[in-house]
Every structure is written in C-alpha cells, then in structure tokens.
Structure 1
Amino acid sequence: MFDGIQRRVVSIWFPRLASDRVLRMRPLEGPFALTLTQSNTNRIYCLNTAAERLGLSAGMPFSDARAFCPDLQSRPADPLADRRFQHALRRWAVRYCPWVGLEDHDGLVLDITGTAHLFGGEATLLMDMRQRLSRAGITARIGLGDSRGAAWALAHHGEGSAPIGAALEALQDLPVTALRLEEKTVTALGRLGLRTINDLASAARAPLTRRFGPSLLMRLDQALGQQPEQITPLKDPPHYGVRMTLPEPIGIKSDVMEGTSRLLTQLCEKLKARETGARILSLTLRRVDQDSQQVELRLARPMRDASRILPLFERGIGDVDAGYGIDQMRLEAVQVEPMAVQQISHVSAGHKDQLDDLITRIGTRIGLENVQRFLAADSHIPERSYQIAAAAFSTPDSAWSTIRPRPLHIFPPNPLMGTHAAPTPPKRFRWRRMSFSTARASGPERIAPEWWLEAGGWHTGVRDYWCVETRQGRRLWLFFTPQSPSWYVQGEFA
C-alpha cells in the first residue's frame, strides 16, 4: 500500500522475443527458428508461431527439427542483440510508468500504482499495450495483479487481470510452476498431489517448510501479496548533450565559435563529473529557415578539455553555411569512453597531447582510420614482427625490443644471382641488376617457422640470417636456406 493506494503491477512476457526481433527486420513466411550451440550441439533457441504449430520446440536439436520440417528456415541467435532489444522495450514501457524493470531475459515488470487513471483505467492501459506491441510485430502476454508474483503467474500461465485484493481467486487454478519454482520442486510437489496453487495454499505450512525450506512458501506469499517484492527500475544512460537558444540569429564564424566554447564548457563539466571523455562530438546548428547544419568531430583520444577541443572545431565551423542566421546550437557527445583518473604532477604530458591533437586535425581531413602507425608484434618472424593499426585507436604498449638488430626496410625475399650453395655469405653477388662485394658479415641468426600459425610467413625449413656490409656502401639482410641451398635478401639497414 502506498498512501492508501493499492499496489498494482504489470508483467509483460515476450515468449518469442528473439525471433520477433529478427523477423521485424527481415520478414519471412513459413516456419522459422533461431539456433544456438549448447554443449557442442546446435539446438533451437527461439522459433515463430508457424514452427510451433508443426510440433517444434525450443531446446530440441536442430538436426531433428530439420528432419521433422525440411522447409524450416534458420539463422544463428544473437543473445546480446536480444538483450539490447529488451532494454529498448524497457525504454518504450516508461511511457506508462516510471518504475520499469527487466524480468529474466524475456520480460518486463511495471509498477503502475497510481498511473492507470492517466490512460483511462487499467483495462484501457492493457489494451493500449497489446495494440502497440501487436502493431510492432512483437508477441506479448500481459498479466496484472497486486504483486509482482501474481502478475508474472498470470502473464506466463493465464494472461489476465487479478481484481484488487483477490489474488488467490485469480491464481488458484494455475499450476504450481506459476510460482517461479525450480523444476525439481515442482516434480516433488506433484508426487504429493499438490499440482495447483490452491492445493498448495490449502496444505499445512509446517510440513512443507520442513521438507522444501522457506523458499517455497515465500514464493507463494509473494504471489498472494503477503510478502513484499521490490521492482528495481534501471537507470537511463547519462545524456551528454547541451543546447543554447539564441535571442538573435548569428552567422559570423567568431560568434559561432564563442557559442561553441560556452557549450563545450558545460559539456566537459558533465564529462568530468562521470570520469569520461568524448571520442565523437556532434555540433548541430539550426538556421532560422529550420534547416540544420552539422559539424562532426572525431577525436584521436577521449578528451574533456574544452580549451583543447575548441580549436579542432574551427575548420568544420568555417565550412558551415549560416544562411540567414543561426538561432539554436546543440552539442552532443555521441560516443564517450571512460578516462582514468590522472595523478597531478609537475611533469607535463604536453607532447602526447600535441600528438593526439595533430592526429585529430589530420584525421578530420583524411579520416582517422587513415592515420596509421606501426606496432610491435609478438613474433620472431620478420614478416610478422610488426602490424599496422590506426593511430587514433591504438597505443604503443612497449618499445621495440629485439635480441639482434633488424633492418629499417623489410620486403619480400628476393633471390640473389651468381651465388654459391655454401652456408657462408658469398663474396660477390648480384641483386636488382647491381653487383656487390662483401666487406664484412655477421651472423648467422637461425630462425625457425611458426608452424602452428596458418597465415603469412613460411611453414617448413629454417633460415640463417646474416647482416652483410658491402663495399658499395649498402648494408643488406641476407638469409640462407639449408634445406634447399639458396641465398635471398629480405631487408636493408639504414
């Protein structure tokens, strides 16, 4: 009871949440199922009405389902996408009441106490829910009761409403599984002849407590409203957006930059309060003719320093067509990332900040993904000793470290001409139509292949690498293959 008002709870169950999500985007006719690999077996995860009518059920092996129904269409399940879809439905349900929580992985629970009259009563509210979900192509079963347990039982086993203060009358004919009990408890109750909620409510409580523990009767009391059960609503994600409505339209670049500066100051305060930084910022400028211009800024690192971010907007704002003037400005952090708390020190990190700002400036022109850097890779194979990654989305974890020196330029192996089959470097050889004479040579460094990897490199034999200084001034990286005596050059030192 809340100030004399009887508590009322709605439970919405989506029995085909996963398949409805997929079919809403790509409608199909006929039997359809989503599959998921469980215990090394591909099983049915969720299916539509047409597949259920043919006798298929969730949990059965997919091979058996195809044997029963050769026309069955299937796709792999995506539980993470289903979870996001459930969260989207939760946000939609906030239109009925502020207290909305998740129920398992396929349902919602709403505390509509004191809000039903805003929709014309409980019956009208439930009808509106059903109609909206049906138009969206989502199968739903809805229960209403004085408690969360009663609403869940009616949604899963009755789909109806329990009158105020009459939970037992509405639930008495439902099976004991409607009390959210474990399967082994339901089986044990069936052996005792307790198959309905009314049978359980009429039985002596002391023997049941001794045999099944307090959880059985607690579930019964929760369904009948005699034990409280809270609904924990999820918090909406923080919104990182600020807006400014101007009394007079502006169009000069300096005025727009000043307005952006004020918005950035407010937005960075929000980011700092949550220890986050912006990676993508979107500035929307609304003109007096109701048309909008957008300036998007993609940052190389999460940032929340207004003084550093503001100059990065200058180029984009300079390309804006203000028309007859801009009367509203809106700045939003489209993508944010957590930022670690930094220790205040007299040592400045200005050089790193300047590099990030430079990457951002270049990235606004050619795209952040096109500004790349070399990163060290954990491999002794020359072809795999480095990798190329976007500078804005990668950080050098450690310095390059090798036991032996590596050439500045590494290229695919080129065979040497005019060499002998001896394992020591040749005194004279030809490479790229040039003749060379060996002055000094150091080595060998034997490198074996990474046979456990499939892509790149070589897979059989070994290579003996030598650093060769020629009399012509070139320092080359040569290797010899003992298994098939030949000489190759693969790199050149600076």
Structure 2
Amino acid sequence: MRWLALCCRLDAPADDADALAWLALSFTPRVARLEEAVVAEVSASLRLFGGARALRGKLQADAELVGLALGAMAWAPTALAALALARCHSPPQQGRLGERLDALPLAALSAAQAHHAMLARLGCQRLGELRRLPRPALAKRFGPALLTALDRAYGDLPEVHGWLTLPERFSARLELPYRVEHAPVLLHFAETLLRQLCAFLAARHAGVRALRLGWQHDAMRARDVADGGELTVATADTTRDLRRLTRLLAEHLGRTTLAAPAGEISLSADSVLPLEETSAGLLPGPTDPQERTTTNALLERLSVRLGSAQVREGRLHEDHRLAEMQRWQAWPAPPALAVRAPPGPQPTWLVEPPQPLRCDAQEQPLYAGPLARISGPHRIEAGWWEGRGRLQTRDYFVYRSAARGLLWVYHERFPDATGSASEWFLHGVFA
C-alpha cells in the first residue's frame, strides 16, 4: 500500500482540512481524516497520474487553484507512518520503513507524545529507543494504546479508517469570531467557505452557476430586524474558479447593507453541474476557452456595478419578422432553446426605420441608380396574432447596387377592398 499524508499550513484555518480531504477525493476514493492531517491511499492511482511525483505535483497545483495552503506531505506504507514523517521537518528519505521511523522523535507519534515527559526520564527520545523497551512493562506502565499505535505505524497491525464520502449538495457554516457590522467584511470569512466549495466541486469534477451566502444576525438585534439575510451570486457559465467567485461575491457584498451585526455565515450551492473540461490551445485565439471565461467574468462584475438591466445580451427568437428575430434580455440570460435557421438570407446591418425608395417607370426600386435583382421574393405574412397594427405583409428581395453593394429590400403590400397599393423600402445592407 502507498499512503500519502497531507497537512495544511499552521497558519491555515482549521476548516481547510475538510476542504483538503474533499480535494484528495478527486485522486482516490480512499481518503480519511487522521488527527490534524488527511491521509489517502493512492497505490491504485499512481499509474493513472503518471507516478508519485506527477500525482504530488498535480495535487499541489489543484490545491493552489482552490486557494488551499498545502503544508507538509509524506509517503509511507502505512497511514500513521506517513503522518509521523510529515510532522518532521527533515525526515529520513532513504532506508526501510522501520529504519526511517526509528530515527523520528517521540513527537512524531501522538500516542508517544502524550507520555513524553515520563519517557524522557527513561532516556527515550526517539521512536526506535521506545520500541526497544520491554513490551509487557511498556503496556503495563503506559497502557495498550501506545503499543497499538507503534504496531500500526510500523505495519505490524492493520489500520482501520472511516472513509470520507462527498455529500450530494454543498452546505457549510462558519461562526464569526466577532460581530461584523459591515457586509464587505464578511468576504474575509466567506473565503474560507469558498475554498471548501471549490474543493468539493473539484472532487465532483463539477462547477456551479449560482451560490447563496447567508448570514445570521446577532441576538442583540432590534425587534423589527429579521433573523438574518442572504444574497444569491449567479455566474454566466459553470465554474469553480476561486478568484472569479471571490471577486464576484466582493462586488455583491460591496453593495449590501446589513440590517444588524452578523455573528454567523453560511454558504450553499444547491445545484452542482458537470464542468466541461477543455484542452488548452497551443496558441491563443478566438477559440481559447480562457478568453470566453475572462469576458464572462468582466460582464458579471459590470452587471453587479451597473445593474442587471444595463448589461443585456441578444438572443435569437423564432419568428419570420426580422425585427422579432432577436430579443434583448438582462445578462446573463437563461439558456436558450434551439432556434431554426431563417429560410432566407439575413442582412449584416439593419436600416431602422426602413428607408422608402423611389421607383422607375416599371415600378422597380431605385437606390443610387438602378438595382439588379439577385434573389427573391421571400414572402412574409406574420404578426396577425398581435393585432392588425402588427401585421406584416412583405416580399423581401436581395438587390445589387453598383454603388452600394448588396441590399435587402422589401415590397410592402396593403390589401384592401379597392385593390392593392405598394411601396419599396430599404431594410438592410450586406457587408
């Protein structure tokens, strides 16, 4: 077996260990918490990730992406031995497991550290010296737990672990160390929960498009103030980018006012979506996925700063009338349904309002000289369901002008009891 012990840095929040355990689940399903560390049995994953060195480098890179402060790491055939080696600043790298453990101080093993004062008076400073003491007397003096821990670390007894599993949905809470009166200050504590969320998403190979940050008001709030509040943060696409989520949450909190001081916050993501993994391109260009993500992140911040109604995007709408083929919605708009392609050519630029055209003696349109018909007519009779004022009865043509290029022209028909009158209009220009 090949065990990897992972420790967070000493200055990292205590909750980061849970996030680190979730991140380790993206490499192996056999992950457990062992005291202050996370241990993972990765012997079955080494070939998949290209060896121990490659797996370690990948784990460090993923931890950096989700904002985790990864500390010491160590390999060993047993979980307790890996933890003991990780606790030491410069553990032995060569030799058999027993020889490496013998050179470690007593503090490397928690069961031995608990009796450090008594063992020091007996002249024991290292695990090897402790192991050479008579076992019956050692068990009688310090109890069987010390011998059990030694045997499990050296591989003489099997280890028992409770494997960690991922919950179906993410929900985490954090009690604040002091009362927070201003919403932007909550971001400092919310970053801890965001790191847990990103590690959770990495283990599921997924992302989110919305998350919810809630807070509970202090018990000393006014009577007319609710128990708490919350805000929802939405993204334009599925993501688990910690920096992007942090910046977006900061924009929202900067425009939020707390009704009373907050004493606790919570973060939840009800909907977890598969994250489409794309390969990076050799050269940057329009197909670079990072370019689209950067643009979406910028638009998200602009939408918060300027208001959702000020940032809009056009969506295709299935309609025969050109003016109704596109709808402008607040960005980001919900995913659109598939729309059939228009039956005829569509101009690059619209002329709004349509420009009336003169006609020659043969009732053919003129625009900077005579026009040559390229295609048409394409007849449109639509909008009757919205009332007579919205009815369009037109024949569209593509004409070529020697001076202005390809033009999109329609012939308006007005049927009535006495006959039909007609007019020609310029409605678009092809680039």
Normalization by structure 1: what TM-score? Answer: 0.40
Give the number of the structure with larger relative contact order, counting CA–CA contacts within 8 Å between residues 6 or more apart: 2
